[in-house]
A = this chain, B = another copy of it.
């Protein structure tokens, strides 16, 4: 069967790349994405830091989330506390809304008598909706954005930026992880987390705290049966899938970790990668597009090639 439509960068990155092949780094001639990645050097990749990586264990496998303390330090700290005290173990996925989000939460979270205790974690946190742009790594994308004055990547995270206000914020792209909240801005705490599994709901930007992104395993969430209640909530208790466990990678024995590295977003290789997404050079394309939108710049990730001991 030869009628396909083209692969995403994600698969290019994870699939078997041309081994060796890199004669020169990022050449001047237009390159395909596969060529850019094949020519990348070890220094173009950044390992996920175990103290900043969350493992969400499901019966079908592991979801790997990179946390974003640069944007949501309070929420990340609370999530780390909750994970460390094993709060999330057994917490069920209560919601799966098509083209939107999957979310886990204590179904009794609003009942003072029945709610699972939060332990040392804080029950309410001020929303962390944006931060100063100053001091933040930022690789700007050149093609504009419908929602933000500027957009780009910051240490692998998709970011909006407003130079007039000097602020920057994480954006709701596919796979981003946020902390659900109620009506009050300070009613979230990280105990309920959602993952974007549809077209980027960018209208949520700066309305709710984002604190990380799924680097691997998002398909374990995106394929969950949709809830048939309003907002995709499951109507039957039996439909809820309990999380088998949520742990910070640094608390997991090294032999049980998923050692991943992601393409750095502050290198010449990343610039070449973005160009390869803006102008598609693969022979299948009739029109190379000439633009790329923030949430279409999937950040390549792969198994670490060297063992952590050697890294």
Stretch at the interface among A80-88, A287-295, A300-308: A287-295
Contacts of A99 in B (CB 8 A): 8, 10, 174-175, 218, 222, 298
CB-CB contacts below 8 Å: A183-238 with B: 183, 185, 187-188, 192, 194, 198-208, 218-219, 222-226, 230-232
Are B3 and A185 in touch, CB under 8 angstroms? no
Contacting residues, chain B, for A90 (C-beta < 8 A): none
Which residues from chain B contact A69 at a C-beta distance below 8 Å? Answer: none
Contact assessment for A144 and B144 in the assembled complex, using a CB-CB cutoff below 8 Å: yes
Oligomeric state, in number of copies? 2
A146 lies within 8 A of B219 (CB): no
A174-B198, A223-B226 given as contacts; is B203 within 8 A of A296 (CB)? Answer: yes
Which candidate, A100-108, A241-249, A250-258, A265-273, is the interface stretch facing chain B? Answer: A100-108
Q: In the complex, A241→B196 CA distance in Å?
A: 26
Per DSSP, chain A at the interface is: loop
Q: Counting CB contacts under 8 A, is A93 at the interface?
A: no
Alpha-carbon gap, A113 to B232, bound state (A) = 46
Chosen A-B contacts, 23 in total, with CB atoms closer than 8 Å, are: A1-B94, A1-B109, A2-B183, A2-B187, A3-B105, A3-B109, A7-B230, A8-B100, A11-B230, A11-B231, A15-B230, A99-B175, A146-B293, A147-B291, A198-B199, A200-B296, A203-B291, A206-B286, A206-B287, A207-B284, A207-B285, A207-B289, A223-B226
Per the bound structure, the CA–CA distance linking A1 and B208 in Å amounts to 17
